[in-house]
Amino acid sequence: MARRSRMRDLVFKIIFQNEFRKDIVDAVLQEVLSKEKSDSIRRDVERYVRGIYDHIDSIDQKISSCLENWTLERLSSVDRCVLRLGTYELLYEPDVPVQVTLDEAIELAKRYGTDNSGKFVNGVLDRLARQYVSQEKWRL
């Protein structure tokens, strides 16, 4: 697995665990980081996880605005976590091209979600990106 894909996989696992074991994100983050050998992956994982929770209200609001006939609470935990990760990356990681974010999120959704998760995540993140992401980031 490529370095950035591994990093996203670890971020997903941390925020997914936090869905069930609320308010222990720091403990889970430290546990995961203690097992990771790569300094750059550890730094990126920590930045992403902290960034997601620093902006969680805004991230959830933007995801909710792009859902049709669904609420954030009704989504599967996998889909919700993948969408949070993808939304964070679209909005707060300017060096990552939109298409890379979409492709990586779809792969995570397919790996951990249902048969329909990849298509669902793609549709929501594509809508969100078109609504909230600058045109410059689309062209990177």
pLDDT tens profile 99-140: 999 999 999 999 999 999 999 999 999 999 999 887 666 665
Q: How far apart are the first and last CA of the chain?
A: 23
pLDDT tens profile 31-78: 877 888 888 988 999 999 999 999 999 999 999 999 988 999 999 999
Structure-token pair, residue 119: 């298509």
Helix %, strand %, coil % of the chain (to 5): 80, 0, 20
Q: Span 91-104, mean pLDDT?
A: 94
Would the pLDDT of 11 be above 80?
A: yes
